[in-house]
Amino acid sequence: MIRQTAGRNTLGTFAPKFSELNDDVLFGEVWSREDRLSPKMRSILTVTTLVAKGMFDTSFQHHMMTAKNNGVTAGEMGEILTHVAFYAGWPNAWAAFRVALEVYKDDGGKDGGIFGLGEPNDAFAKYFVGKSYLRPLTDPEKTVFMANVTFEPGCRNNWHIHKAAKGGGQILLCTSGRGWYQEWGRDAVPLKAGDVITIPANVKHWHGAACDSWFSHIAVEVPGEETGTQWCEAVETVDYDRLDK
């Protein structure tokens, strides 16, 4: 059960019954009935209702943050508020968007950008620090393989090498959030949406998200002869942590 204390902290002695109903019933029993309605759906309903009523006080920001924590992505919230605007009023939607921009300001890329999040990248999880997601975009049996890769904040892959006797390598097309790319023996390069990185074959490197931002890129496998990936050690935590300082 969700444990809420906001009512008692604010109104405990002034309105103890209201505090009890707020903390134990509304935010306790009702919000905890996950077998009936998921927390994500309850957040969407709550935000939508508050927008319709034109209520944009601090509690609205709290519910917007709760929606984010319950899995409502920035892209989904944008679509929700756009839809609600036609029913609840354009000025109300504008007011809600101002709060959403503040709540989601460091959340670019959490929904995987324009190509979507994909599935947890479990097959390669042992080569990553943190959680990543993969959405293949093309069939490697038919054409050049491309996949959308999304890194949670702080996630990065290990040092690795795209081996090839001829041709090969990889191209990264950055689509959302902030990240890093580094070749062995060189300084790390910051990445943002719109950046393109060409990774030569047989060069040791790593790439991933910044410590406080989601990051997505399309990985394009360059055709070559006798290609393969050699995975190496993880990036030293102390080296990674100093990048954003």
Residues in the chain: 245
Closest CA to 22 of 40, 35, 3: 3
Q: Check pLDDT > 60 for residue 1.
A: no
**pLDDT value, residue 106:** 62
Q: Where are the domains of the chain?
A: 6-103, 113-241
Cα distance between the two ends of the chain: 39
Q: What is the model's pLDDT at position 82?
A: 96
Closest CA to 199 of 165, 171, 168: 171
Q: Dihedral, CA atoms, 14, 17, 22, 25, nearest 10 degrees?
A: 170
Phi, psi of 103 (to 5 degrees): -65, -40
What's the whole-number mean pLDDT along residues 45-60?
A: 94
**What pLDDT score was predicted for residue 144?**
94
Q: Which of 205, 204, 198 is nearest to 222 (CA)?
A: 198
- Predicted confidence at residue 105, as pLDDT, reads 75
**6-103 to CATH, choices 3.40.50.410, 1.20.1290.10, 2.50.20.10, 1.10.260.40:** 1.20.1290.10
pLDDT band at 110 (very low <50, low <70, confident <90, very high): low
Q: What is the mean pLDDT of residues 87-115?
A: 84
Which homologous superfamily does the CATH classification assign to the domain defined by 113-241?
Jelly Rolls (2.60.120.10)
Alpha-carbon distance of 205 to 188, in angstroms, equals 10
- Contacts of 135-141 with CB under 8 Å at 24 or more apart are 137/218, 140/221
Positive/negative CA dihedral, 136, 140, 146, 150: positive
pLDDT at residue 107, as a whole number: 61
Residue 224 has pLDDT above 60, yes or no: yes
Mean pLDDT of 42-68: 92
| The pLDDT of residue 34 is above 80 | no
Contact between 145 and 227 (Cβ < 8 Å): no
More confident residue, 18 or 160: 160
Alpha helical stretches, state H, 89-241: 90-103, 237-241
State the pLDDT confidence band at 86, using cuts at 50, 70 and 90: very high
Statement: residue 77 has pLDDT above 60:
yes
Query: Given this model, what pLDDT does residue 109 score?
Result: 62
